[in-house]
Amino acid sequence: MTMFHPTTDTYRAGARTMLGEYYTSDTVLREERERVFASNWICVGRESDVAEPGAFVLADVAGESIIIVRDRGAESKVRAFYNVCRHRGTRLCAETTGRFGETIQCPYHAWTYRLDGRLTGAPHMGETEGFSMADYPLHAVALERWEGFLFVNLSKSPEPFATVFAPVNNRFARYNLASLRTVRRIDYDVKANWKLVMQNYSECLHCPTIHPELTTKLPYTSGANDLTEGAFLGGYMEIKAPHESATMSGRACALPLGEFSDADKVRAYYYTLFPTMMLSMHPDYAVFYSVRPVAVDRSAVRCEWMVHPDAPAAPGYNIADAEEFWDRTNRQDWDICARSQAGVSSRAYAPGPYSPRESIPAAWDREYLRVMSAGQ
């Protein structure tokens, strides 16, 4: 089955939602694996996840297991490798997080690698004519850092990271994202296609009916979008007085993340970073989401709360106030996304019109369709 990819102009003025096949077809999901997930810069977490030499985490990207590890060399560099031994292809690492010693050793035949990927031990291979350990390093994966986040790209010739991220380079510097400390993490199992999760995050037209707690603090008609085309989309919403932040109580829950203008002191910023990252910034804390497709109708979503590094020890710290606020909101979103998945799976579903207040999901669709049709 070959999918029909509409032109990017299809979803501009008079934009309509996408065909049901985009949310229900395994063929589309297979195409996405190559065109979206194996060819774009994918967020795999925070650099602080591998803060110490030897620390590692595994990341699932485009169906591949990737080892993210901090080298023990002089530069203590973070590296990424396929979780594949160069001998007979065995998975090197089964634990999802941990700490290596000086080396990574295959559990099958004991081929051994330094943390920079070089092969240093291959039992009995010295008896093999022409064999050189220098020819068999671990397969490296392109890795870059941005604002404390780590991104990988499986492409052999990835588009330069600096070029891709130029629209948001230093845009959020005042929030000091790179220095923030992760203090909460929740993993969600969402019974919906990954695109429905991203599209739902991209608009608040649904907020009055779905999010009663959110609407009292962040009126859905407030604010404006400042990134409206391309891979990075979003803008701000106004925090309604007398509330100080997006928390259950409406009070600030932690130290300010930075030095803010009077305008930013009463604003919350929400952005999608294509394809699978969402970033929420408030005066006193930030939240980021990473989305991973598990099946055509199921997604894994990780949500992390981050604060000023001095906040946990400061008076008035109460991150639970923000955690409960967004955990409730998230679960409301995941429920409506699951109901959307059920609806778009119906034979009766047909693309419907977006309203002007849904311009960002329409723009997200355009970027998605551009990526899916690239090279065709």
Structure confidence at residue 21 (pLDDT): 96
User: What would the pLDDT profile of 184-222 be if each residue is shown by its tens digit?
Assistant: 999 999 999 999 999 999 999 999 999 999 999 999 888
Q: What is the mean pLDDT of the chain?
A: 94
pLDDT for the residue numbered 14? 59
Distance from C-alpha of 233 to C-alpha of 209, rounded to nearest angstrom: 23
Q: What is the 3-state secondary structure (H, E, C) of the chain?
A: CCCCCCCHHHHCCCCECCCCHHHHCHHHHHHHHHHHHCCCCEEEEEHHHHCCCCEEEEEEECCEEEEEEECCCCCCCEEEEECCCCCCCCCCCCCCEEECCCEEECCCCCCEEECCCCEEECCCHHHCCCCCHHHCCCCECEEEEECCEEEEECCCCCCCHHHHCHHHCCCCHHHCHHHCEEEEEEEEEECCCHHHHHHHHCCCCCHHHHCHHHHHHCCCCCCEEEECCCCEEEEEEECCCCCCCCCCCCCCCCCCCCCCCCCHHHEEEEEEECCCEEEEECCCCEEEEEEEEEECCEEEEEEEEEECCCHHHCCCCCHHHHHHHHHHHHHHHHHHHHHHHHHHCCCCCCCCECCHHHHHHHHHHHHHHHHHHCCC
Query: What pLDDT is recorded for position 154?
Result: 98
Q: Which of 178, 195, 202, 222 has the alpha carbon at shortest distance from 272? A: 202
pLDDT of residue 278: 98
Lowest mean pLDDT among 68-77, 267-276, 337-346: 68-77
pLDDT at 73 over 50: yes
**For residue 126, how many other CB atoms are within 10 A of its CB?**
8
Is 369 a residue whose pLDDT tops 60?
yes
CB neighbour burial string for 316-353, b if at least 16 within 10 angstroms, e if fewer = ebbbebbbebbbebbebbbebbbebbeebeeeebebee
Dist CA 117 CA 366 (whole Å): 39
Alpha carbon 260 to its chain's center: 26
In this prediction, residue 376 carries a pLDDT of 60
- pTM value is 0.93
- With 70 as the cut, is the pLDDT of residue 66 above it? yes
pLDDT of residue 223: 86
d(Cα 247, Cα 334) in Å, to the nearest integer? Answer: 19
Confidence at residue 374, expressed as pLDDT on a 0 to 100 scale? 81
For residue 141, what are its two tokens?
């994966």
pLDDT above 50 (res 356): yes
Whether residue 351 has pLDDT greater than 80: yes
Whether the predicted pLDDT of 3 surpasses 50 = no
pLDDT digits 0-9 by tens, 218-277:
998 888 999 999 999 999 999 999 999 999 999 999 999 999 999 999 999 999 999 999
Averaged pLDDT for residues 147-152 = 98
Q: Which domains does the chain have, with CATH numbers?
A: 8-40+170-373 (3.90.380.10), 42-163 (2.102.10.10)
pLDDT greater than 50 at residue 361:
yes
The predicted pLDDT at position 375 comes to 60
Interval 154-167: pLDDT, tens? 999 999 999 999 99
| Cα–Cα dist 312/300, whole Å | 28
Q: Is the peptide bond before 107 cis (omega within 30 degrees of 0)?
A: no
Residue 147 pLDDT > 80, yes or no?
Answer: yes
Name residue 277's beta-bridge partners. Answer: 273, 290
Cβ(249)–Cβ(303) below 8 Å? no
* Residue % of the chain over a pLDDT of 90: 91
Q: pLDDT, tens digit, for every residue of 280-321?
A: 999 999 999 999 999 999 999 999 999 999 999 999 999 999
Distance in angstroms (rounded) separating the CA atoms of residues 56 and 49: 8
**38 within 8 A of 29, measured Cβ to Cβ:** no
In angstroms, the CA 348 to CA 82 distance is 43
Q: In this model, does residue 2 exceed pLDDT 50?
A: no
CA-CA distances (angstroms) from residue 115 to 36, 95, 97?
Answer: 29, 16, 15
The answer on pLDDT for 1 being more than 60 is no
pLDDT at 47: 97
Q: What gap in Å lies between CA 32 and CA 373, rounded to an integer? A: 11
Q: pLDDT of 20-37, one tens digit each?
A: 999 999 999 999 999 999
pLDDT over 70, % of the chain = 96
Beta bridge partners of 287: 280, 305
Q: What is the dihedral of CA 132, 135, 140, 144, to 10 degrees?
A: 100
Q: Mean per-residue pLDDT for 45-61?
A: 97
